[in-house]
A and B are shown apart, each in its own frame.
Chain A
Amino acid sequence: MKVGVVVFPGSNCEHDVVEAVERVGATGELLWHGDSSLGDVDAVVLPGGFAHGDYLRPGAIARFSPVMGAVAKFADDGGPVLGICNGFQVLTEAGLLPGALQKNAGLKFLCRTVDVRVDSTDSVLTSGAARAQVLRLPINHFEGNYTCDPHTLDELRAEGRVVLRYVDNPNGATDDIAGICSSRGNVVGLMPHPERASDDLLGSTDGLVLLRSFLGVPERV
């Protein structure tokens, strides 16, 4: 299993993601945003950070990076794509996921560990988790307040595409949404950082169940 981790100018979580996926038995490979091919990877992660300095809006410029055409094609072919934090913002700007991420309601940059509930196991990120399972995951964002029009929200709810919700909404996100998936479940975006909850030293290993699901790696007993 080879995971391509896309590096934009300003990404800063790419090595954390590589470290975390290798911890669960996959191989991580950094991909440059200027390349128009993904090579032979089996899954793609858009990591956290500040792609292109978040200029204009987070993800607004990154969506035009050459690699994004290949990511869209990969997603269209059913390949697993995960956007974490800034990567989630890029996926919404690119139209691979609906809605947008707006400034946090309290206008504070939030850097803390929060409880997140699994509300759908029908996605590549949550297939190995249990419904209603609560995970302790770090968040680290200024623009993590998920927003969408009422029609989109109805659709997301009806199709079980809200995969993760905050137990105690930290940022004003609509319907407590922390993560959503595409209609086929193979593209997932979330604001919390599962890769930062992948080792006891980090204070939580709750991200591992998500990463194992994403990589199709069964949990070791």
Chain B
Amino acid sequence: MTMASYPVLVEVTLRPGIADPQGATIERALPALGFEGVEGVRVGKAIRFTVEAPDADTARSRVDDLCQKFLTNPVIEDALVSIGVEATIE
């Protein structure tokens, strides 16, 4: 089976309704810095890596599993997964 290497970006965000004190603090600081009209600041994490898989669907399901079990705490966080164009592994 040919394996390919997929670049992955996982954005971890706090679930809707979960308070985000970091985002709120940043938002409160903005007017003092001269940035008006910036609203809805939410702070999360971006995690980049590559995953080996035979095809994109398999890559996706492995990353979803990884997010569920480790990269996010499903009680308070969601994951937005983006999978890029694969590179063939020689």
Interface residues of A (CB under 8 A from B): 56-57, 60, 64, 92-93, 99-100, 102-107, 145, 147-149, 172
Contact = CB atoms under 8 A, between A and B. Distances in A.
25 contacts: A56-B71, A57-B73, A60-B70, A60-B73, A64-B70, A92-B75, A93-B73, A99-B75, A100-B73, A100-B75, A100-B76, A102-B19, A102-B76, A103-B21, A103-B22, A104-B21, A105-B19, A106-B21, A107-B21, A107-B22, A145-B19, A147-B18, A147-B75, A149-B75, A172-B19
Interface of B: 18-19, 21-22, 24-25, 70-71, 73, 75-76
Nearest to B20: A103
Contacts of B73: 57, 60, 93, 100
A103 B75 CA distance: 13
Q: Is the interface of B mostly helix, strand, loop or mixed?
A: helix
Contacts of A103: 21-22
Nearest to B14: A102
A105 B18 contact: no
B21 A105 contact: yes
A91 to B, nearest CB: 13
A182 B65 CA distance: 26
Ranked 6 nearest A-B pairs via Cβ: A107-B21, A100-B75, A100-B76, A103-B21, A107-B25, A100-B73
A71 to B, nearest CB: 18
Contacts of B70: 56, 60, 64
